[in-house]
Structure 1
Amino acid sequence: MMHLSERPRLLVFADNRQDAAFQAGWMRDHARRFRLRALISQQIPKTGTSIGDIVHGLDGCSREGPRAVPGALPRGLAGGAV
C-alpha cells in the first residue's frame, strides 16, 4: 500500500486576476460600442437621413471634444485627444 506522501500529486492553479482583467477590457469595449450606437441613433431623425448626414453629425460631435461624447469614441478620435 502506498503512503500518502508517495502518491503522485496534481497542483491546480487558477488566476482570477487575469480573468478579471480580461472581463474589464471586454466590458469597456462593449460599453463603448453601446454608447456609440446610442450616439448614432441620436443623429437619425424619425424621417430618416443619409449615411453622409450621420457621418457629418458624428464628426461634429467628435470635434466638440471628448466631453461631448464621453467614452463613445476611441481616445485618438475624440477631439484629437490622445
Structure 2
Amino acid sequence: MEKPITTLYSKYGTALLYLIVGGLTTGINVVLFFGLTHLAMPWFWANIIAWVLSVLFAFIANKKVVFNSADMTFRTVIKEGASFFT
C-alpha cells in the first residue's frame, strides 16, 4: 500500500508545486516591498521592483520546477517570458 504523501503527490503533484511556487512568489514580493520601503525607497518604485523580481522568479520557477521545461533557448525564453509577464 502506498503512503498517503506519495499518493497525494502522484495525484496532485503539479498543482501542489504550482501552489508552492505561487506562495513563494507572494512571499518574495512582500519581503522585497517592505525591505525596499524600509530603506526609504518610495512605495511606488518599491512596488514596481518587487513585482518585476517576484514575477521573474515565478516565471523561472514555474518553467523549471513545475513544468520541467528543457527548452531554454534564448528565443523561446524571450517569447514565453513576454507572454508570462503580460
The TM-score normalised by the length of structure 1 is 0.44
The TM-score normalised by the length of structure 2 is 0.42
Which structure: larger Rg?
A: 1
- Between Structure 1 and Structure 2, the one with more helix by share is 2
Report 1 or 2 for greater relative contact order, CA contacts < 8 Å, sequence distance ≥ 6: 2
